[in-house]
Chain A
Amino acid sequence: DAGVTQTPRHEVAEKGQTIILKCEPVSGHNDLFWYRQTKIQGLELLSYFRSKSLMEDGGAFKDRFKAEMLNSSFSTLKIQPTEPKDSAVYLCASRPVAETLYFGSGTRLTVL
Chain B
Amino acid sequence: AQKVTQTQTSISVMEKTTVTMDCVYETQDSSYFLFWYKQTASGEIVFLIRQDSYKKENATVGHYSLNFQKPKSSIGLIITATQIEDSAVYFCAMREGQGGRALIFGTGTTVSVSP
Instruction: Identify which of residues 9-52 in chain A touch chain B, using a CB-to-CB cut-off of 8 Å.
Output: 33, 35, 40-45, 48, 50
Contact status B100-A101, CB under 8 Å:
no
Contact status A100-B45, CB under 8 Å:
no
- Closest chain A CB from B21 CB (angstroms): 14
Number of interface residues of A (CB under 8 A): 23
Instruction: Identify which of residues 51-104 in chain A touch chain B, using a CB-to-CB cut-off of 8 Å.
Output: 55-56, 89, 91, 93, 97-98, 100-103
B-side interface size class? 20 to 34
**Alpha-carbon distance between A41 and B108 when the two chains are bound, in angstroms:** 9
Chain A residues, Cβ within 8 Å of B37: 101
Q: B25 in the interface, Cβ–Cβ < 8 Å?
A: no
Contact status A45-B104, CB under 8 Å:
yes
- Closest chain B CB from A66 CB (angstroms): 17
| Interface of B toward A, CB cutoff 8 Å | 35, 37, 43-47, 50, 91, 93, 98-108
List the 3 closest A-B pairs by CB distance, nearest first. A42-B107, A98-B99, A43-B105
